[in-house]
Amino acid sequence: MKQRHLENSVMIVVRMNIKGKKKTIDFFLVDRQHNEYYAFSKPYSYSIYERCKKLSSVNSLVSYRCKNKGIMILVKYTRIMVPYLADYYDLPLLQKAG
C-alpha cells in the first residue's frame, strides 16, 4: 500500500501491559476528539517505551531516525501499519497542497 501521512492531530500513545508472563507495550492512536483506537502491540523494550511514552504525533514517529535497532524496527512497522489503520478507523489524512 502507498505510504500515507495522517493529520498532525492524530497522536500515538503507549501503555504497558503486564498481564501474563511477558510484558508488552500496547500502542493506541488518539484523534482530536480524544477517541482511542487500538493500533498494535510489541514486546516490551525500555528504549521503545521511553521514546513513545509521551504523547507524540504519528508522523513524527514515522519520520524518526536513530541508531537503535529496536526503535527503527518499530518505525518501519508503524509505516506499514498506518495506511491500514487509517482506512480501518477512518482517520483524517494530511491533504497535500497543490
The answer for residues whose C-beta is within 8 angstroms of residue 36's C-beta and 6 or more apart is: 13, 28, 29, 30
Q: Residue 15 corresponds to which cell in the numbers above? A: 501503555
Predicted local confidence at residue 92, as pLDDT: 84
Q: What pTM, to 2 d.p., does this model score?
A: 0.86
Instruction: Give the pLDDT confidence score for residue 23 in this predicted structure.
Output: 92
Low-confidence ranges of the chain (pLDDT < 50): 97-98
Cα–Cα–Cα angle for 84, 42, 83, rounded to 5 degrees: 10
